[in-house]
Amino acid sequence: MRRTVILCGLVAALAGLMLLGWGCSKPAPNEPLVIGGIFSITGPASYLGEPERNSMEMVIAETTGKGGVNWRPLKAVIYDDEGDVTKARLHAEKLIQKDKAVAIIGPSLTHTSMAVLEVTQKAKLPLISCAAGSAITAPAKDRVWVFKTPQTDQMAVARIYQYLQKQGLKKVAILTVSTGFGVAGKEQLLAQASKFGLTVVAQEVFGEKDTDMTPQLTKIRGTDAQAVICWGTGPAPALVAKNMKQLAMTIPLIQSHGAASKKFIELAGDAGEGIIMPAGKLTIWNQLPDNDPQKAVCKEYATKYTAKFKAPESSFGGYAYDAMNMLLKALQKSEGNPSKIRDELEKIQKFVGVSGIFNMSPEDHNGLTPEAFVMVKISNGQFKMID
C-alpha cells in the first residue's frame, strides 16, 4: 500500500516536473517581449540619449496600452552607456544573456555603435542604431544584423556640398571634433569635395570638451577659405560659433546636422545668427509644404513628445522613434523571432518616418537619401528652411 503511494507520488512529481519544463521551454503567449535599448543618457552626449530613451519608452507604452504586438505586451529594458564604449558593450551582452532581448535599439553614438554591433552580430540579434556614422551599416553585406535610422554623415556632406556648389563657393575649411562622429564626417568631407568642385584648404580638429577653438580658427582665418564647415556635437559647435564672432570672421559657418537642435541656438546666442546647417525635416516641420508626406508624421511625433515630456522634440529622439516604429512593423510578422525580425526589417519599403522615407534593401540598411535633409539657416533665433 505504502509502495503504491510512493509510486503515485513519484509519478505525479515527474509529471509536474515535465509540465514545468515544458512551461519553461515555451513561454506563455502573453509574456512580454523584451526590446533592449542602449543610449548615452548621461555624459557629454546626454542630449542624444535622453530624448532617444523618452521616445522609445513613449512608443512602448503606447503599444502596450493598445494591447501589444499580436496581443503580446512589450517591455523595454534600457541601459545608459554614458557614451563609453566598454559600458555599451557590457550592456549589449547583458541585454542578450540576461534580459533575452529580441532586438536592440541604440546606441546613440557612432563609436559605441561600432562596439555594440560586434556583439550583436555574433549573437545574431537585430540592432537598430541611432548614430549617424555611415560605417555602422556599410557595407550592408557584412552588417547583416545591423540597421540604422539617422541620416548618414555621407548624406549630410552631400547636402552641404550641393548647397555650397549652388552658392558658387570653391574653397572650404573644415573643423571637426576628434570623436567618431567628427572623424567619420572628416572622411566624408574630404572624399566628396572634388565631386562638387570644392577644395578643402584647411583641416583642423578640436576635442569634444574643448572650450576655446580660437587657435584653430585663427589658422583658418589665415587661409583663403570661403566658408567654414564645423563637424561636431554638444556644446563645442556653439563655442566655434562664438569664437568666430570673437575673431571677427565674416565667412559663413556651416554646421553639421549634429548641431541642428534648439539647444544649439540657445547656447550660441547672438553668435548663432546666420549659421547654416542640414537638418532633418522634423526641425522645421511646420514650414514644410502640405504635400510633403513627412509633415503629418513629424507633426504627430512633435505633438505627442512635447505633451508627454514637457520638453521640445528633437531629431535625436526621432531616430529612436523611427527605429521603434519600424521594429513594431517587423515584430507583427515575426513572433519575436530575431532572425525573422531581421528579415522583415530588411523588407521595409516606403516607410514614412520622422527622419525621412526609408527603403531598406539587402544592400542598404539605412534606406535614406540626401533628400532626407533640408538646409536651414538660423534667423532671429529660429530655424528657417532655405533649400
Partner 1 sequence: MELAPLLQYLISGLTNGAIYALIALGFVIIYHATTIINFAQGEMVMLGALCAISIYHLYPSLPLAFLGGVVLVTVVGIVFERLALRPVKDPSPITLIIITVGGAVFIKGVAMLLWGKEAYNLPSFSGDAPFHMGTATILPQNLWVLGLTAVVLLGMEAFFRFTLVGKAMRACAYNPRAARLVGISLSRMVQLSFALSAALGAGAGILIAPLTLGVYDMGTMLGLKGFCAAILGGLGSSFGGVLGGLILGVAESLATGLISSGYRDAVAFFILLLVLFIRPQGLFKGDS
* Chain positions contacting partner 1, by CB under 8 A: 42-44, 46-47, 50, 178, 204-207, 209-212, 214-216, 218-219, 221-222, 234-235, 238-239, 242, 245-248, 263, 266-267, 269-271
* Residues with Cβ within 8 Å of residue 340, at least 6 apart in sequence: 330, 333, 334
CB of 307 to partner 1, least distance (A): 21
For residue 82, the 8-state DSSP code is T
Question: Which of 387, 329, 382 lies closest to 158 in space, CA to CA?
Answer: 387
Q: Which is nearer to partner 1, 118 or 212 (CB)?
A: 212
Distance CA 264, CA 262 (A): 5
CB of 213 to partner 1, least distance (A): 8
Angle at the Cα of 247 from the Cα atoms of 242 and 253, rounded to 5 degrees: 55
For residue 260, the 8-state DSSP code is -
Report the relative pairing of strands 146-148 and 103-105 from DSSP bridges.
Answer: unpaired
What are 346's three cell numbers?
Answer: 530588411
CB of 283 to partner 1, least distance (A): 18
CB of 266 to partner 1, least distance (A): 7
Q: Which is nearer to partner 1, 207 or 274 (CB)?
A: 207
Distance CA 27, CA 6 (A): 32
Backbone angles phi, psi at 364, to 5 degrees: -135, 110
Q: Which is nearer to partner 1, 32 or 43 (CB)?
A: 43
Q: Which is nearer to partner 1, 125 or 189 (CB)?
A: 189
Quick check: bond before 139 cis, omega within 30? yes
Q: Which is nearer to partner 1, 16 or 269 (CB)?
A: 269
Three-state secondary structure call for residue 210: coil
CB of 285 to partner 1, least distance (A): 23
Contact by Cβ (8 Å): 333, 340: yes
Residue 107: exposed, middle, or buried by beta-carbon count in 10 A (0-12, 13-18, 19+)?
buried
Q: Which is nearer to partner 1, 266 or 300 (CB)?
A: 266
Q: Which is nearer to partner 1, 82 or 346 (CB)?
A: 82
Question: Which of 64, 82, 86 lies closest to 73 in space, CA to CA?
Answer: 64
Q: Which is nearer to partner 1, 275 or 324 (CB)?
A: 275
Count of CA atoms in the C-beta half-sphere (13 A) of 365: 27
Strands (E), 242-288: 253-255, 276-280
CB of 320 to partner 1, least distance (A): 18
CB of 245 to partner 1, least distance (A): 6
CB of 207 to partner 1, least distance (A): 7
